[in-house]
Amino acid sequence: MIQIKKVVKTFGSRAVLRGVDLSINEGDFVTLMGANGAGKTTLLHIVANLSKPTLGDVLINGYRLTEAGSQLRRFIGLVSHKTLLYDDLTAEQNLRFYAHMYDVPAAKNRIETVLNQVNLWERRHDPVRTYSRGMQQRLAIARAILHNPPILLLDEPDTGLDQHSAGILGELLKAVGISQRTILMTTHNLDRGLSLGNRMVILAKGKIVYDAPRQDTSLEQARDLYYQHVTVN
């Protein structure tokens, strides 16, 4: 579903990604871990077609992003550090705007469905500025799945959430149908990443240094690998 081939990304003389190769099969839930500055967000932005690689190629379902980028965005939902929501609009108005952008069929029914999935239907008429950080992130997930994309990209989805909101993240992702999608998620939370994903990938200094199915990695091994690569600058 996602093929990342020898991707390099530089900003001036600084190389953030140094020849990343990663293939993600349909239905995989890949947890991508790495220290701050390892290139995780940069890689997700390239896959989401929000940034262009300096070198290399990315294919989504066999199609090159460089050849069909705007069309392929319909295949992708993105939850990032920014919610991409309009504070002065209500939840319903935000989703109606995005439904129009993506030509979502039966938009009214779809909006009701996703708002119920993230437990915000009763607050649909309230401006987003009145929402807590946790509620805004739930609405951002609803926005990301509104057009029912087969691929979901999650960049630190628990950033800024309190302990309770972060703790229910897994249940929320299950509610929006992660089992029916291909997921690539970055996280600093080892336990949450391992509990959600079926494959563990570590990115260090712009390169993939570990990639294995979750069942092939014990919790002790995962922690050793994590601290070996993630906590070392």
Residue 201's domain is classified under what CATH number? 3.40.50.300
Local structure of 185: helix, strand or coil: strand
d(CA 93, CA 108): 11
Query: What was the pLDDT predicted at 173?
Result: 73
Domain enclosing residue 93, as ranges: 2-229
Query: What was the pLDDT predicted at 70?
Result: 65
Name the CA radius of gyration of the chain, rounded: 18
Query: What was the pLDDT predicted at 125?
Result: 98
Phi, psi of 96 (to 5 degrees): -65, -40
Query: What was the pLDDT predicted at 89?
Result: 98
Query: What was the pLDDT predicted at 154?
Result: 92
Regions of the chain where pLDDT drops below 50: 233
Query: What was the pLDDT predicted at 61?
Result: 87
- Domains in the chain, number: 1
Q: Are 174 and 183 in contact (CB under 8 A)?
A: no
- Specify which residues 200 forms β-bridges with: 31, 212
Tell me the pTM: 0.88
DSSP count for the chain of H helices, then E strands: 9, 10
